[in-house]
Amino acid sequence: LAKTTQPISMDSYEGQEVNITCSHNNIATNDYITWYQQFPSQGPRFIIQGYKTKVTNEVASLFIPADRKSSTLSLPRVSLSDTAVYYCLVGPNSGYSTLTFGKGTMLLVSP
């Protein structure tokens, strides 16, 4: 599985847009990029997944450049409840793939 690198922590304020970038230089052709969110003492929750270009859903956008060696999770107008750890994962979308979680990015949103 491709190794990922993301910032350990980020700070933001309510109402701002937050962009968390993940590096995955060794991404394979059949790998997808997936982001999960985890609140303290809760299980991770799927946010978004993409393969290339841009993917948007009701909570976030995922930007993937043409070389796919990095990706950026964009959270529009964050609120205090977005304070959590965000994990970037890269791997095949086979349905049988395992997830390798790194340390994640601890996002702290302040008033």
Partner 1 sequence: DSGVTQTPKHLITATGQRVTLRCSPRSGDLSVYWYQQSLDQGLQFLIQYYNGEERAKGNILERFSAQQFPDLHSELNLSSLELGDSALYFCASSPRGLDEQFFGPGTRLTVL
Q: Which residues of the chain form contacts with partner 1 (CB under 8 A)? A: 32, 34, 38, 41-46, 49, 87, 91, 93-104
The distance of closest approach from Cβ of residue 86 to partner 1 in the complex, given in angstroms and rounded to an integer, is 12
In 3-state terms, the chain is what percent helix, strand and coil (to 5)?
5, 50, 50
Q: Which is nearer to partner 1, 29 or 41 (CB)?
A: 41
**Structural tokens at position 49:** 């997944």
Q: Which is nearer to partner 1, 29 or 96 (CB)?
A: 96
The distance of closest approach from Cβ of residue 104 to partner 1 in the complex, given in angstroms and rounded to an integer, is 8
- Report the distance separating Cα 105 and Cα 86, nearest Å: 5
The distance of closest approach from Cβ of residue 96 to partner 1 in the complex, given in angstroms and rounded to an integer, is 6
- Report the distance separating Cα 91 and Cα 72, nearest Å: 16
